[in-house]
Amino acid sequence: MSKQTYRVCFCFHRRFRLAVTEAPAEIKDLFSQYSENGIMNADRLRNFLIEVQKQEKATESEAQAIIDQLRHIHRKGLNLEAFFKYLFSDSNLPFQSQTVHHDMNAPLSHYFIYTGHNSYLTGNQLSSDCSDVPIKEALERGVRVIELDLWPNAAKDNVDVLHGRTLTTPVELLKCLKCIKEHAFTASEYPVVITLEDHLTPDLQAKVAHMVTQTFEDILFTPGPESLKEFPSPESLKRRIIISTKPPKEYLEAKEVKENENDPQKGKELGDEAAWGEEVTHQKSMPVSDDKHDLDEEDHNEEEDLDCGDTKSQQHEAPEYKRLITIHAGKPKGGLQECFKVDPDKVRRLSLSEQQLEKAVATYGKEIVRFTQRNILRVYPKGTRIDSSNYNPLIGWTHGAQMVAFNMQGHGRSLWLMQGMFRANGGCGYVKKPDFLLKTDPPNEVFDPKVKLSVKKTLKVTVYMGEGWYYDFRHTHFDAYSPPDFYARVGIAGVSADTVMKKTKTLEDNWVPTWNEEFEFPLTVPELALLRIEVHEYDMSEKDDFGGQTCIPVSELRSGIRAVPLHNEKGEKYPSVKLLMRFEYF
């Protein structure tokens, strides 16, 4: 071992021993209760795992394996330092399972699916570069739905991917397709859906069909000539690529950039949020005055689907292109009420903007839930989010929307919720919807998110302490001349009745803050609740500094004392920063 490595290890060990001295009294008391003469052997550790950690099936051999991992600290068992190190270790994370554990044999419509919006953009929606790099990064994070906007190239003889009617620079479609093939199943074996928003002539649609079939070959799933009566399951589509788009339509010439999209003042209004994003609140639904107008008000956007009954458009279709489509997109003629009608003989995808959804849920909340039991609802950001910000995903999820499409290249609290939701089920990109969103009997009874329900369970959260900033941040990052002043924010994102944020006291001048504070969260719909955790550093003269965040689905939380890793603004896990917390249900 080099002298430098020795010094780093010695510093780490010394700092950790200092952290042990600051351990909350409850942790020390538990160690005393489950140890003898200052040592916790395998039998006593097993009792701790069963009684405190609620790991009812824990065995003595599993307890011995934990002791063996920390034998370098004490040979005969766990002393207080080893016990404390175990509690902070990666073998004591808060997730019930880090593998796929949901039933994956139901139709695709029974799952929330990790969905990207304009997946090819490197930055803002107006002038950033288009590239295959953000597609690769999204797939490596477990995103399962990639969106590509297709336009003719300058010579009108090939296909580019770009955000139409903006100043974004294009990338070749073939490059994007090859990137998807190479990285589709890096993070998950479950199917990747490519949503195509095409603005192509029939001859270019035929060219797209050739590119897609040649690139993906036998991993491309094609449903056959008949419309699907029910979507296949994620399990049956493992390592397959699926195409979702509207039926082929007439070529639309690209237009000038719309004035309202190129308004610098509008962009400034959207960009003036805090570095970690605006606070997420459960938005109230907007009233519906004229649902036909609400549906049509954004039809000039390239996001919109064509009416399914537009036979004139279908006369220009490329048949080989149409045969690729597994998930057909489209809006029926008429208003919102027609949109949510369920056809027992076929399934489809409907796309709504975040604004359209907010208006629709005011009147048609139960109809939306019923629609999403068989069909797929995709929600996308409103067109004025040129800074690639996002919206509250809970509005879509509480109504059963499977594809809540997000700008993955952005950051902020809304995106943290999205990342948190899809840490569930082993991070495979598919999360089974709660049973109450899928319940069909009796026929007229479906979940109504507007109805306030009684409390099902209460989550008690104890925030003991934090550790790791000393190693992962420059020592002058928070304050130039003194240790940081940390506080934690803990709360719930879920249905309106459950949504809340609370805050610990601020601890001055301490790299290892020990808050030792308890919070209780009554939950009416725990199945849709996400535990939100943030740490900030108080700054009297400027905006508080960011110190880490994470979101965890309540349904995935293990009871007991757990080490909770924190992530940066982009959602990347810090090497060392963790909170020691306790989770209890009653």
Look up the CATH number of the domain holding residue 408.
3.20.20.190
The per-residue b/e assignment along 47-57, b for 16 or more CB within 10 angstroms, e otherwise, is: bbbeebbebee
- Is there a single domain that holds both residue 387 and residue 486? no
3-state secondary structure 2-15: CHHHHHHHHHHHHH
Tokens of 342: 């369920």
Of 218, 124, 126, 135, which is closest to residue 173 (Cα–Cα)? 135
Count of Cβ atoms closer than 10 Å to residue 231 Cβ: 25
> 197 pairs with which residues across the strands?
149
What is the helix (H) or strand (E) element at residue 181, kind and residue range? Answer: helix 173-183
Instruction: Give the chain's domain count.
Output: 2
Q: Residue 358 has what pLDDT?
A: 95
On whether residue 575 sits in a domain, the answer given is yes
- Is there a single domain that holds both residue 429 and residue 475? no
Type of residue found at 202: P
- Is there a single domain that holds both residue 352 and residue 428? yes
- Is there a single domain that holds both residue 243 and residue 392? yes
> 534 pairs with which residues across the strands?
489, 549
Residue 334, SS3 per DSSP? coil
Q: Residue 181 has what pLDDT?
A: 98
Cα–Cα distance between 228 and 148 in angstroms, integer? 23
Contact indicator for 541, 486 with CB cutoff of 8 Å: no
- List the catalytic residue out of 102, 163, 399, 536: 163
Residue ending a domain, among 410, 437, 464, is: 437
On whether residue 401 sits in a domain, the answer given is yes
Q: Residue 72 has what pLDDT?
A: 84
Residue ending a domain, among 380, 410, 437, is: 437
584 burial level (CB within 10 Å; 0-12, 13-18, 19+): middle
On whether residue 326 sits in a domain, the answer given is yes
Cα–Cα distance between 157 and 204 in angstroms, integer? 7
117 catalytic? Reply is yes
User: Within the chain, what is the greatest distance between any pair of CA atoms?
Assistant: 85
On whether residue 58 sits in a domain, the answer given is no
Q: Residue 43 has what pLDDT?
A: 96
Residue ending a domain, among 437, 467, 488, is: 437
139 burial level (CB within 10 Å; 0-12, 13-18, 19+): buried
The dihedral built from the CA positions of residue 509, 510, 511 and 515, taken in this order, carries a sign that is negative
Q: CB under 8 Å to 154, separation ≥6 — which residues?
A: none
Q: Residue 202 has what pLDDT?
A: 93
Q: Residue 303 has what pLDDT?
A: 52
Tokens of 230: 């029910």
Question: CA angle, 113 as apex, 175 and 534 as ends, to 5°?
Answer: 100
- Is there a single domain that holds both residue 134 and residue 203? yes
Give CA separation, 79 vs 43, 76, 263, in Å.
14, 9, 64
Prior bond of 248 cis (ω within 30°): no
- Is there a single domain that holds both residue 144 and residue 242? yes
Cα–Cα distance between 244 and 260 in angstroms, integer? 29
DSSP class of residue 184 equals T
Q: CB under 8 Å to 139, separation ≥6 — which residues?
A: 146, 180, 183, 184, 186, 187, 192
- List the catalytic residue out of 117, 183, 328, 536: 117
The number of CA neighbours under 13 Å toward the Cβ of 104 is 18
> 351 pairs with which residues across the strands?
378
Cα–Cα distance between 282 and 280 in angstroms, integer? 7
Of 549, 533, 540, 534, which is closest to residue 482 (Cα–Cα)? 540
On whether residue 64 sits in a domain, the answer given is no
- Is there a single domain that holds both residue 240 and residue 333? yes
Cα–Cα distance between 445 and 441 in angstroms, integer? 7
- Is there a single domain that holds both residue 433 and residue 356? yes
Rg (CA), the chain: 26
Q: Residue 536 has what pLDDT?
A: 98
Q: Which residues of the chain have pLDDT under 50?
A: 1-12, 250-276, 285-302, 304-315
On whether residue 70 sits in a domain, the answer given is no
Give CA separation, 189 vs 29, 101, 183, in Å.
45, 14, 11
On whether residue 223 sits in a domain, the answer given is yes
> Domain range for residue 543?
455-585
Cα–Cα distance between 176 and 152 in angstroms, integer? 15
- Is there a single domain that holds both residue 427 and residue 481? no
DSSP class of residue 475 equals T
- Is there a single domain that holds both residue 484 and residue 570? yes
Phi, psi at 550, each rounded to 5°: -160, 160
Tokens of 102: 């949901």
> 404 pairs with which residues across the strands?
379
Q: Residue 300 has what pLDDT?
A: 40
Cα–Cα distance between 222 and 228 in angstroms, integer? 11
CATH number at residue 498: 2.60.40.150
Cα–Cα distance between 406 and 418 in angstroms, integer? 8
Contact indicator for 403, 146 with CB cutoff of 8 Å: no
- Is there a single domain that holds both residue 362 and residue 503? no
pTM of full prediction above 0.75: yes
DSSP state string for 78-143: B-HHHHHHHHTSGGG-SBS-SS--S---S-GGGEEE-EESSTTBSS-TTTPBB-SHHHHHHHHTT-
On whether residue 191 sits in a domain, the answer given is yes
DSSP class of residue 306 equals P
- Is there a single domain that holds both residue 433 and residue 462? no
pLDDT tens digits for range 210-239: 999 999 999 999 987 677 899 999 999 999
Cα–Cα distance between 261 and 301 in angstroms, integer? 11
DSSP class of residue 402 equals S
Residue 256, SS3 per DSSP? coil
